[in-house]
Amino acid sequence: MTPFGKAVSRSALGIAMAAGLAAGFSAPATAQRQPKAESVSPGFGKVAAPFQKAVADAKTRPNVVAAKGNPAALSAALAPEKAQFEAMMAAAATPVDKYNAGALALGLGQLAEDPAILRRGLTIMIESGKTPPADLPRLNFFLGQTAFQAKDYAAAQTALQAAVSGGYRDNDADALLAQAYISDNKAQQGLTILRQAMDAKRAAGVVPPQNWYRAGLGAAYRGKLLDQAAFFSIGLAQHYPTKENWAGAITVVRDIAKYPAQENLDLLRLMGRTNSFMEERDYIEYIQAADARRFPGEVLSVINTGTTAGKLRAADPFITEARTIANGRVAADRASLPTLERDARAPNASAATVTAAADTFLSYGQAAKAAELYTIAQTKPGADLPRVLTRLGIAQVDSGNYAGAQATFAKVTGPRKSMADLWAIYAQQKAAGKA
């Protein structure tokens, strides 16, 4: 039946998780330092003093004041000072000269709103060897920030690592260091640093910001790192359980794990419980995984939900065929429930028989009955325990046994663990009345 192999577009949700971490950091110009009192070389002194006065005078010059907020206009207005700046930088011969040149450069860079000048100033200050040790971590942070803004991620990593290693923690420096690695396509290193930064937040009693979780999830998605995706998915769903975040968390795990149909079905059931379907693809994959020939009642429910939400087109041949098959089977399937239960409760019933009965009851929303049968199934030789435990947990959630569900999901191992952990978060939220 070809429609059940229908291709659907991939979700953009995983990519959308890649919210940046860099927004909101302080401007590098706040790192400005006064020139050192040590003697500078005569040649440098001759150009440095006039440059310092020129920058101070330019702050109130009408054409400069009028150009504020417009870097291009500021650059034109400050053309004379920029020429003096180049002469001053060229005259800096000694370490003291260079430190002072850098400090003066920060003044012009701030006035000109020019990150390139700021970066040059910070670089020459640090390289001069005259920066007080206590100031080095802070200056390295601002140097790393300007490098990051210039998309020079390797330089940003070096400077920001020096800042963090030196004990600088303001402005979420460690998070910006993580972003520098992530932006440089070094997701594993970046995510390791980001998780350390999140650990520090939690140790201080602070929940890490939502955009950290979203950025981590996006990086894990692009890097196809399932363990990392699971971590950030769980945290995002736990601390920021919006419909969009549940959708992103589930979608990223689903795309990376590439579960077989029955595993995918249980993850899509979570998407249904959290009301986080976002696009046609979600409903289509759910219908494919449930299979109108296997769980006709559940398929009809998904079709109705999708068409009501306007995400499925009732006239779509795939939907039409799935509905026709499900309608043709649902009455007989429902009528078979007593027989299925009787056979499942027989002492010699096989694991397959009991599990199949439990699956059918679960698909019709008869959660309490399904939970009883899954409990029996897990004792049978040859039972697929990860699948049985996952579905026992789902049945417990649906029947209101949230503590039991969390305990059950905690027992799931193997490829299903990531999905079970997400289900456990949902059970926890249900128990707290937050879902």
Domain presence at residue 158: no
What string of DSSP letters covers 222-258? Answer: HHT-HHHHHHHHHHHHHHS--HHHHHHHHHHHHHHH-
Across the range 347-354, mean pLDDT stands at 98
- Which tens digit of pLDDT belongs to each residue from 363-374? 999 999 999 999
Determine, yes or no, domain membership for 182: no
CA distance 319 to 310: 13
Task: Using the predicted structure, report yes or no on whether residue 31 has a pLDDT greater than 50.
Answer: no
- Site of tokens 């019709």: 364
CA dist list (Å): 286 to 267, 270, 292, 295, 390? 9, 11, 10, 11, 17
Within this chain, do residues 66 and 125 fall inside the same structural domain, yes or no?
Answer: yes
Let me know whether 39 and 104 are in one domain: yes
Give the integer Cα–Cα distance in Å for 75 and 67.
9
Q: 420 and 259 in contact (C-beta within 8 Å)?
A: no
Residues 51 and 103 in one domain: yes
Is 201 part of any domain? no
Same domain, 372 and 297: no
Look at residue 2 and tell me if it is in a domain.
no
User: Does the residue 18 lie in any domain?
Assistant: no
Q: Which of 131, 154, 180 is the last residue of a domain?
A: 131
The pLDDT assigned to 402 comes to 98
Count of beta carbons in the 10 Å neighbourhood of residue 37: 8
Domains held by the chain: number = 3
Domain that holds residue 121: 27-131
Over range 151-155, report the average pLDDT: 98
> Are 271 and 342 part of one and the same domain?
no
Does one domain contain both 324 and 354? no
pLDDT in the model for residue 80: 97
In this structure, the answer to whether residues 373 and 327 fall within a common structural domain is no
Instruction: Write down the residue that tokens 């030789």 correspond to.
Output: 381
Would residue 263 count as lying in a domain? yes
Answer yes or no: do 348 and 289 share one domain: no
Give the number of C-alpha atoms closer than 13 A to the C-alpha of residue 263, restricted to the C-beta side: 21
Evaluate whether residue 172 is within a structural domain. Answer: no
Residues 328 and 368 in one domain: no
Q: Residue written as tokens 């940046």? A: 20
* 41 and 87 part of one domain: yes
Mean pLDDT of the region 295-322 = 97
59-106 residue pLDDT tens: 999 999 999 999 999 999 999 999 999 999 999 999 999 999 999 999
**Same domain? 45 vs 58:** yes
* Helix %, strand %, coil % of the chain (to 5): 75, 0, 25
pLDDT band at 30 (very low <50, low <70, confident <90, very high): very low
Query: What pLDDT score was predicted for residue 419?
Result: 96
Q: Is 106 inside a domain boundary?
A: yes
Q: pLDDT tens across 222-258, in order?
A: 999 999 999 999 999 999 999 999 999 999 999 999 9
Q: Look at residue 378 and give its three-state secondary structure.
A: coil
Global pTM reads 0.85
Given 111, 131, 151, the domain boundary residue is: 131
Quick one: tokens of 302?
């998904």
Per the rule left: phi > 0, alpha: psi between -120 and 50, beta: everything else, 333 is: alpha
Q: At which residue do the structure tokens 């990051």 appear?
A: 148
CATH number at residue 401: 1.25.40.10
297 and 342 belong to one structural domain: no
Q: Which of residues 335, 359, 391 is at a domain's end?
A: 335
